[in-house]
Amino acid sequence: MAKAKHKSPSRHLNHMAGAMCYRLLTEIPDALYMIELTLPMVSRIIGTGLSYNDYNTNFELLELLKIPDPAPKKTEQVRQNLSQLCNIFELDERVAILLEFILIMNINPHAKFLIDCIELPDQDHDLMLFYEHISGLDKHHIIEAMESLISKGILSADSAPQHLPWLEMSNPIQYLLTKSVVTSCEQILASFLVKSPAPAFTLSDFDYVNIDLLRRYMQKATAAQHTGINVLLYGCAGTGKTELARALASELDRQLFEIGSQVIADGKLQQKHSTKYVNSQRVQYLTTVQTLLRNSTENLLLIDECESIFLNADSSYSKDMLHQTLERNTVPAIWITNHVGCLEDSYLRRFKLVLEINSPDESKLKALTEQAVHGLNLSENAVEKIAAVKHITPAIIGNAAYVTKTVGEKRTKAESTMLEVIENTLEACGLWQNDMRYQQEIPFDVSLLNLKQPKSVIDEINHAVSQGQPVRVLLCGPPGTGKTAYAHYLTKAHDIKLKRVQCSDVLSKYVGESEQNVRQLFISAHRNKHALLLDEVDSLLTSRDRLQAQHETQLVNEILTQLECFTQPLFAATNFETALDKAVLRRFDFKLECDYLHTEQVLMLFRRVLSVSRLTQDEQQQLSTLKRLTPGDFAIIARRMKFQPKQDHRQSALKMLLDENKRKQPNPTIGFVH
């Protein structure tokens, strides 16, 4: 007879496995004759090393499965836990022995292998007779019980529910049954849920989102105890989706629980029952939690990074099951994703409310920045610079402020550290853009905008912009006449953010991507209520008569379509009006032709820029002959004066203006001399 060599640290579980296999082989008729037992097989099931004898028959090896129970109290506790589980989930207590069988098959793969090795003529039938015998339940009630446990997330199945050896038991449930004393529903919940931290913001801090609709819907729907309350929040990472969910839960006076989170405390992973099949596990957890909290009116669930759950449908679980989860859940849930494109339409249609959470506008980001950098003594200019960084999010601002405070920087050093942390983060994300913003060297003066149209047109445009109407203005004329400056001046006067669109923002080397970029620019401006300035628009709206490639024509068509649909003020500037597509002119409400400065304006600007009270007779005479100057020419003088502020620039400025005027003279035509 074989002899034991060592003991397993969980011998009571091995004892249970050995006892269950013994019953299986002795209570299923002829089972012992339909398998070839081996010493290694038995040794692995009972977790004990066995020495070989010359003769080990099936009957001798069968007896080796009956090892003494080294921890009867622990064994009894596991069985009490199984009974308590049945009570919590309102199941017949006789189901407990079947759950014990399933538990053994999950924690002891060698016991499951033994069943695979039994070559019964009708294995499914014989195994069902065994389940009926040990539980006292008939086939119908056994299948019904298994289906109930599957629907509640305690078990999961890749095959029919009557195939008990191949049912998978939830990892937290396995852990509770074998390592704890199960006493209550709350104890089981603690294995599946993590309390979300307290919110760092209030709901009013998210006024850049339609929080009024979100709040009112959740208040009304939860008060009426509707089923299928699911809200999807999507957008770029770091825009505050999770914090919004926490603030909403606080507003509703509900405890927010996070599904499937793994918590690290004191350097240790607290959920020891984690699995590599994370998405299957999270769906199973969600189902269990919905069952346990079905009568609760004080909780709210959060499923973060939910896109992976939907992507794995059909491979790990069925789409139909997810559809039912979204339609029948009794506990309200907030789902969060950074990649809404991963969710099929069939899922999106089942969310009661879908909200995009974009990064706040600059004014809101400025307020959030001021709050985050409190104590760093940053200047207002530094705060504005941080808030104006492209693709910046509240999370990135918060992290940069945390690092800066940790290293103990203040004032200008704090500003430098903040910007460095922000740049490094955005660079790693592929989002860093060190954009050069439009800058004016001399303040814009609308009186210097010389139009060939009546001055009353300016008043009409001003009124339309002040009312937020979708006015379209085409500005054409020589470079430097104030086309771009006028658009910036007008939108700033009415506190409207102006998005300047250049050729590089649109064009792509990939066919079709340029059109997508155009569409996205217009959609973003529409949603954020930003005005648009299409600078050097001739490079984007070149006459289709001159184009040869189909994708170039498609780009023009896309821009024209978006122009007609745009809901905010739009400006377009060009130095080459004749290069524009003919259909462009019909789509603009106003066409402003900007002209060169008059003599009086030239004299006035020369005095203003050079800070001189009176001009010499020679200066006045020479400047009066210059008919092709623009405010842009005087802006160049202002820039040059910055380079050498102590130098007298009167003579060099006059010479530069003379040269510039001469350069702009039209070339003489070549003809015949008569």
> Which residues 6+ apart lie within 8 Å of 106 measured at CB?
168, 169, 174
Provide the CATH topology of domain 192-269+277-356: Rossmann fold (3.40.50)
Is residue 85 a contact partner of residue 95, using CB atoms and an 8 Å limit?
no
pLDDT (0 to 100) of residue 468: 87
pLDDT (0 to 100) of residue 55: 56
pLDDT (0 to 100) of residue 6: 38
Which part of the chain has CATH 3.40.50.300?
192-269+277-356, 446-593
277 vs 294: which has the higher pLDDT:
294
What's the rounded Cα separation, in Å, for the pair 577 and 592? 11
Q: How confident is the model at residue 539 (pLDDT cuts 50, 70, 90)?
A: confident
Are β-strands 255-259 and 531-534 bridged in parallel, bridged antiparallel, or unpaired? unpaired
350 vs 667: which has the higher pLDDT:
350
What's the rounded Cα separation, in Å, for the pair 431 and 519? 19
**Residue type for 24, please?**
L
The SS3 of residue 250 is helix
Least trusted range by pLDDT, from 58-62, 496-500, 540-544, 576-580: 540-544
DSSP 543-583: -GGG--SHHHHHHHHHHHHHHHH--S-EEEEES-GGGB-HH
Tell me the sheet residues that pair with 232: 335, 354
pLDDT (tens digit, 9 = 90+) per residue, 626-639? 999 999 888 888 88
pLDDT (0 to 100) of residue 543: 63
Average pLDDT of the segment spanning 575-587: 77
> Which residue, 88, 3, 112, 121, is CA-closest to 52?
3
Least trusted range by pLDDT, from 1-5, 297-301, 611-615, 647-651: 1-5
Structure tokens at 24: 């299986």
Is residue 351 a contact partner of residue 325, using CB atoms and an 8 Å limit?
no
The distance in angstroms from the start CA to the end CA of the chain is 131
> Which residue, 596, 573, 574, 601, is CA-closest to 450?
596
What's the rounded Cα separation, in Å, for the pair 420 and 399? 12
> Which residue, 577, 581, 576, is CA-closest to 544?
581
Q: How confident is the model at residue 439 (pLDDT cuts 50, 70, 90)?
A: low
Is residue 664 a contact partner of residue 627, using CB atoms and an 8 Å limit?
no
pTM here?
0.58
- Find where tokens 């997508």 sit: 516
> Which residue, 531, 508, 528, is CA-closest to 518?
508
Least trusted range by pLDDT, from 60-74, 538-552, 649-663: 538-552
Structure tokens at 567: 């809901």
What's the rounded Cα separation, in Å, for the pair 251 and 202? 8
pLDDT (0 to 100) of residue 75: 93
> Which residues 6+ apart lie within 8 Å of 171 measured at CB?
273, 274, 275, 281
What is the distance of C-alpha 608 from the center of its chain? Answer: 52
**Average pLDDT of the chain to the nearest whole number:** 84
pLDDT (0 to 100) of residue 265: 39
Average pLDDT of the segment spanning 8-33: 86
Q: How confident is the model at residue 274 (pLDDT cuts 50, 70, 90)?
A: very low
Q: Which residues of 78-101 are buried (b: 16+ CB within 10 A; e: fewer)?
A: bbebbbbbbebbebeebbbbbbbb
Q: How confident is the model at residue 229 (pLDDT cuts 50, 70, 90)?
A: very high
Is residue 500 a contact partner of residue 535, using CB atoms and an 8 Å limit?
yes
Q: Is the model's pLDDT at 674 over the cut of 60?
A: no
> Which residue, 449, 403, 410, is CA-closest to 425?
403
Which part of the chain has CATH 1.10.8?
362-429
Determine the CATH number of domain 362-429.
1.10.8
Q: Taking the CA atoms of the chain, what radius of gyration do you get in angstroms?
A: 38
- Judge residue 432's burial from the number of C-beta atoms within 10 Å of its C-beta, 0-12 exposed, 13-18 middle, 19 or more buried: middle
Q: Is the model's pLDDT at 672 over the cut of 80?
A: no
What's the rounded Cα separation, in Å, for the pair 45 and 606? 98
pLDDT (0 to 100) of residue 205: 82
pLDDT (0 to 100) of residue 219: 94
The SS3 of residue 374 is coil
What's the rounded Cα separation, in Å, for the pair 290 and 228? 11
What's the rounded Cα separation, in Å, for the pair 442 and 610? 11
C-alpha distance from residue 458 to each of 233, 490, 570 (Å)? 43, 10, 15
Provide the CATH topology of domain 446-593: Rossmann fold (3.40.50)
Average pLDDT of the segment spanning 479-503: 88
What's the rounded Cα separation, in Å, for the pair 433 and 461? 33
Are β-strands 255-259 and 450-451 bridged in parallel, bridged antiparallel, or unpaired? unpaired
Q: Is the model's pLDDT at 435 over the cut of 50?
A: yes
Q: How confident is the model at residue 252 (pLDDT cuts 50, 70, 90)?
A: very high
pLDDT (tens digit, 9 = 90+) per residue, 166-218? 999 988 889 889 998 998 887 887 777 788 889 888 888 888 788 899 999 99
Q: Is the model's pLDDT at 144 over the cut of 80?
A: yes
Q: How confident is the model at residue 295 (pLDDT cuts 50, 70, 90)?
A: confident
pLDDT (0 to 100) of residue 538: 79
Is residue 162 a contact partner of residue 142, using CB atoms and an 8 Å limit?
yes
- Find where tokens 């020891």 sit: 272
Structure tokens at 96: 């407990």
Least trusted range by pLDDT, from 149-158, 166-175, 487-496: 149-158
413 vs 284: which has the higher pLDDT:
413
Is residue 300 a contact partner of residue 254, using CB atoms and an 8 Å limit?
yes
C-alpha distance from residue 16 to each of 49, 111, 116, 128, 562 (Å)? 17, 10, 19, 20, 71
C-alpha distance from residue 254 to each of 167, 296, 436 (Å)? 35, 10, 46
CA atoms within 13 A on the CB side of 656: 17
